[in-house]
Amino acid sequence: MSTRTSVRSSLWLGLLAVPAVAFFLVFSYAPMAGLVVAFKEFDISKGLFGSPWNGLDNFRYFFASGDAQRILVNTIVLNVLFLAATLAAGVTLAIMLNELRGRFFKRAAQSTIFFPYFVSPVVVAIMLQVLLSGPAGDGGVVNDALAGFGLPTVSWYTEPGPWPWILTFVKIWQLGGYMSVIFLAAITSIPEDVYEAGQIDGASRAQMALRITLPLLKPTAAVLLVLGVGRIFYGDFGTIYAIVGDNGTLFPTTDVIDTYVFRSLRQIGDFGTTAAIGLFQSVVGFVLVSTAVLIQRRYSKETSLL
């Protein structure tokens, strides 16, 4: 094959990537340029380029508003809770699933606990309403149970206190099965003779799980942890907004950057300040994600992306 035909054929081949390149240019790269709005006093009638510059005013306004501290703290606290809880749940479930015998039960169990991952956040929000508030606003399955044990019922949707834990529980429900799939794959790749050696030495199943399986899951957990920490500045908008919505009573513990940005865009229409928060989030997020990816690549060559 001559070089000329190969160049021509690779040109043809390049055509296949054109739609995707166009997509990235319009929906990923153009919005990056659009971030200049963070430095402008945006006026929709003047458009993006006609609006006057206002320097760092938008940033000052956000950090002086008093909301900044609350949503930053919430974002980090909630994400740390979510990450720790889902990793722990994933490891525990994977080790337990690995103990199961009987192919049918094992498969049924895996299918069941994996399913919540595919459920829309809106559906999750409705389920939570069923559990916590009942149709008429008071009651719900949980309160019925509390009353059954003679305990006082709680008006969940007006109490901000327990919500970080409720949301963490929701996350475990959504992602526990998903995480266990990853960890179970890691367990399957552990060579069988390690366990045989343990067995010859008279280890019990519990000892083998604790002393062999758990330590060997560390690299997988470390990779997931690092990537999770890298994304700590991005909340799960869908789940939190679907559940909390515009219920202001719960904001003190549940309002995160993403929900705040969404609300100030939709309700106040303050494009400049909203974009400033978005830019702040993107920049810090970028530093964290890149650091995370660099660390992850250093420690696990075969899991690197590019």
Task: Tell me 136's DSSP state.
Answer: T
- Give the per-residue contact string, 167-186, with other proteins (x = CB under 8 A; - = no): ------x--xxx--xx--x-
- Cα–Cα distance between 275 and 39 in angstroms, integer? 9
Q: Which is nearer to other proteins, 74 or 296 (CB)?
A: 296
Residue 130: CB atoms within 10 A of its CB come to: 13
Q: Which is nearer to other proteins, 139 or 160 (CB)?
A: 139
- Give the per-residue contact string, 261-290, with other proteins (x = CB under 8 A; - = no): xx--x-----x--xx--xx-xx--xx--xx
Structure tokens at 180: 């266990």
The footprint of other proteins on this chain (CB under 8 A) covers a number of residues equal to: 111
Residue from 63, 80, 88, 121 touching other proteins (CB under 8 A): that is 121
CB of 54 to other proteins, least distance (A): 15
50 lies in the binding site for other proteins (CB under 8 A): no
Q: Which is nearer to other proteins, 162 or 219 (CB)?
A: 219
Residue from 80, 127, 190, 225 touching other proteins (CB under 8 A): that is 127
- Distances 23 to 10, 19, 20, 30, 125 between C-alpha atoms, Å: 21, 6, 5, 10, 32
Residue from 41, 48, 63, 225 touching other proteins (CB under 8 A): that is 48
Which residues are registered as beta bridge partners of 40? 53
Task: Tell me 133's DSSP state.
Answer: T
149 lies in the binding site for other proteins (CB under 8 A): no
CB of 102 to other proteins, least distance (A): 9
Cβ atoms of 224 and 300 within 8 Å: the answer is no
61 lies in the binding site for other proteins (CB under 8 A): no
148: exposed, middle or buried (Cβ count in 10 Å: 0-12, 13-18, 19+):
exposed
300: exposed, middle or buried (Cβ count in 10 Å: 0-12, 13-18, 19+):
middle
Nearest-10 crossing angle of helices 163-188, 237-244: 150
CB of 248 to other proteins, least distance (A): 13
Given the rule CB under 8 A, which of 59-67, 70-78, 149-157, 298-306 is the region that contacts other proteins?
Answer: 298-306
Q: Which is nearer to other proteins, 68 or 181 (CB)?
A: 181
Which ranges of the chain does DSSP label H, i.e. alpha helix? 3-15, 18-24, 30-34, 47-50, 57-64, 67-99, 103-114, 121-132, 141-148, 163-188, 192-200, 205-208, 214-216, 218-230, 237-244, 251-254, 257-263, 271-299
Given the rule CB under 8 A, which of 59-67, 69-77, 126-134, 154-162 is the region that contacts other proteins?
Answer: 126-134
Structure tokens at 5: 């035909």
Residues of this chain, 67-86, that bind other proteins according to CB under 8 A: none
- Give the per-residue contact string, 26-45, with other proteins (x = CB under 8 A; - = no): xxxxxxxxxx-xx-----x-
Residues of this chain, 224-253, that bind other proteins according to CB under 8 A: 224, 237-238, 241-242, 245-246
CB of 76 to other proteins, least distance (A): 18
- Give the per-residue contact string, 187-206, with other proteins (x = CB under 8 A; - = no): -----xx-xx--xx---xxx
Residue from 3, 64, 103, 135 touching other proteins (CB under 8 A): that is 135
Task: Tell me 107's DSSP state.
Answer: H
